[in-house]
Amino acid sequence: MANIILIAGTYHGGWYWEPIIPALTNAGHRVFAPTLSGLASSNPISTKINLDTHIDDVLRIVEENNLDDVVLVGWSYGGMVITGAAARITTKVQKLIYLDAQLPKPGEREWDLIPEHEHEMFIGLCKDGLNLHPDAGMLTYEPRMHPHPLATKLQPLNYDQVKFNSLSKVFVFAEKWFGDPSVLSPIKRSYDNATKDPGWRTHSWPNGHDLVREDAQKVAEFLVAEAASPVP
């Protein structure tokens, strides 16, 4: 049995994982799907929340539940969070699974991983100077989206690369981003870095970025198999 912690992406909460949680628990795993600080309400809070805050959210789950054999799963922005968390609790982590997720190098911000031509778009979504607000199109696509703290995108993630390299790591790349073949996925760089590193196992799926929404069964079966497989 593994203790699986699922971390969703920008604007999303623990609700994102609802379609796959039953399959994971039925396989005997204990599952945690937190909604990270600042993402639980459509009324954004004004206190400062940064990447460290979200990493601490994960560490709190581990500490309060006295967890070992932890499988950290991150989707999209969630890759930033699980990278930082794993670097701080290396001995408790069984495996890291990146589901089309950001993979920063030490000292990088997610802002550094976002294509420059999208920076202005994100700035335009920051109406209050603290939070990125999903626009009307995003809310039509997924009404449960909530404002996301901007500082989580701007804080560099510093971690020990040597400790991180010792962990078992898996990367799944979604080839179609959001279905437009003319748009280069901003996750492609992270995937390429993982494929060049012998410490990773990588997969490329003919799916779009929103993996759980597009094929929950495929994601669930993959995570069940990975959680049960021995660490190399």
Helix, strand and coil percent figures for the chain, each rounded to 5: 40, 20, 40
Q: What is the CATH number of the domain that holds 139?
A: 3.40.50.1820
**The pLDDT of residue 117:** 82
What is the Cα–Cα distance from 84 to 215, expressed in whole angstroms?
27
What is the Cα–Cα distance from 83 to 76, expressed in whole angstroms?
12
Element (H, E) at 207: none
CA–centroid distance for 160 within its chain: 19
Contacts of 163 (CB under 8 A, 6+ apart): 87, 90
Residue 217: helix, strand or coil by DSSP? Answer: helix
Q: What is the pTM of this model?
A: 0.96
**The pLDDT of residue 28:** 96
Q: Which residues of the chain have pLDDT under 50?
A: none
What is the Cα–Cα distance from 87 to 90, expressed in whole angstroms?
6
The active-site residue out of 42, 76, 168, 182 is 76
What is the Cα–Cα distance from 41 to 33, expressed in whole angstroms?
16
**The pLDDT of residue 46:** 67
Residue 144 CB neighbours (<10 A): 12
**The pLDDT of residue 121:** 87
**The pLDDT of residue 31:** 98
Contact 146, 11 (CB under 8 A): yes
Closest CA to 106 of 129, 84, 138, 137: 84
Contacts of 19 (CB under 8 A, 6+ apart): 212, 213, 216, 220
Q: What is the number of structural domains in the chain? A: 1
Quick check: is 37 catalytic?
Answer: no
Structural domain span for residue 92: 3-228
What is the Cα–Cα distance from 224 to 29, expressed in whole angstroms?
8
